[in-house]
Amino acid sequence: MKQKISLVALAFIVVLLSACSAKDSFEKVAESDYQWTGIAVSGEGRIFVNYPTWQLASPFKVAEIVNGKEIAYPSEEINNLFVCVQSVVIDKLNRLWVLDPANPQFKGVVEGGPKLYQIDIQTNDIVKIYNFPETVYTPTSYLNDVRIDTKDEIAYMTDSEDGGIIVLDLKSGSSWRALNSGCPAVLANLDGIDFKSTGKSKGITNSDGIELSEDNQTLYFSALTANILYQIPTSVLRDTMLVPEERCKEVSVLNNKNVPTDGMVLYNNSLYMADLPNESLWAFDLKTKEGRSFDFGTTIRWADSFAVGADGYIYFTTSQINYPEKERVQYGIYKFKPQ
Residue 44, pLDDT above cutoff 70: yes
Q: The pTM is what? A: 0.92
Q: How far apart are CA 164 and CA 187, in angstroms?
A: 8
Query: What would the 3-class secondary structure string for 4-53 be?
Result: HHHHHHHHHHHHHHHHHHCCCCCEEEEEECCCCCCEEECCCCCEEEECCC
Enclosing domain of residue 234: 26-336
Read off the amino acid at residue 126. I
Q: pLDDT value at position 24?
A: 84
* Comparison of pLDDT for 37 and 7, the residue scoring more: 37
Q: Is residue 13 part of a domain?
A: no
Overall residue count recorded for the chain in this entry: 339
Of the candidates 167, 151, 147, 134, which has an alpha carbon nearest to the alpha carbon of residue 209?
Answer: 147
**Inter-residue contact 85 to 97 (CB < 8 Å):** no
Of the pLDDT bands very low, low, confident and very high (cuts 50, 70, 90), residue 19 is very low
Exposure string of 80-119, with b = 16+ CB inside 10 Å and e = fewer, is eebbbbbbbbbbeeebbbbbbbbbeeeeebeeebbbbbbb
Q: How far apart are CA 259 and CA 51, in angstroms?
A: 25
The four Cα atoms 154, 157, 163, 164 give a dihedral, to 10 degrees, of 0
Least confident of 1-15, 138-152, 164-178, 298-312: 1-15
Question: Radius of gyration (Cα) for the chain, nearest Å?
Answer: 21
**Inter-residue contact 16 to 33 (CB < 8 Å):** no
Q: pLDDT value at position 339?
A: 76
- The 8-class DSSP code of residue 339 comes to -
Q: pLDDT value at position 147?
A: 98
* CATH number reported for the structural domain that contains residue 305 in this entry: 2.120.10.30
Number of compact structural domains in the chain: 1
Q: Is residue 4 part of a domain?
A: no
Q: Is residue 6 part of a domain?
A: no
Q: pLDDT value at position 22?
A: 52
Span 266-278, mean pLDDT?
97
Q: Is residue 15 part of a domain?
A: no
Span 2-18, mean pLDDT?
45
Residue 4, pLDDT above cutoff 80: no
Of the candidates 266, 254, 279, 255, which has an alpha carbon nearest to the alpha carbon of residue 306?
Answer: 266
Q: How far apart are CA 25 and CA 50, in angstroms?
A: 25
Q: Is residue 144 part of a domain?
A: yes
Span 202-206, mean pLDDT?
94
Q: What is the pLDDT of residues 98-125, one digit of tens each?
A: 999 999 999 999 999 999 999 999 999 9
Of the candidates 127, 125, 131, which has an alpha carbon nearest to the alpha carbon of residue 143?
Answer: 131
Of the candidates 178, 171, 53, 160, which has an alpha carbon nearest to the alpha carbon of residue 103?
Answer: 53
Under DSSP, is residue 326 helix (H, G, I), strand (E, B) or coil?
helix
Q: Is residue 5 part of a domain?
A: no
Residue 187, pLDDT above cutoff 80: yes
Number of helices (H) and strands (E) in the chain: give both, helices first.
Answer: 4, 26
Q: Is residue 133 part of a domain?
A: yes
Q: pLDDT value at position 6?
A: 52
Q: What is the pLDDT of residues 218-255, one digit of tens each?
A: 999 999 999 999 999 999 999 999 999 999 999 999 99
Of the candidates 208, 196, 201, which has an alpha carbon nearest to the alpha carbon of residue 158?
Answer: 208
Q: Is residue 324 part of a domain?
A: yes
Of the candidates 41, 58, 162, which has an alpha carbon nearest to the alpha carbon of residue 101?
Answer: 162
* DSSP helix, strand, coil percent of the chain (3-state; round to 5): 15, 40, 50
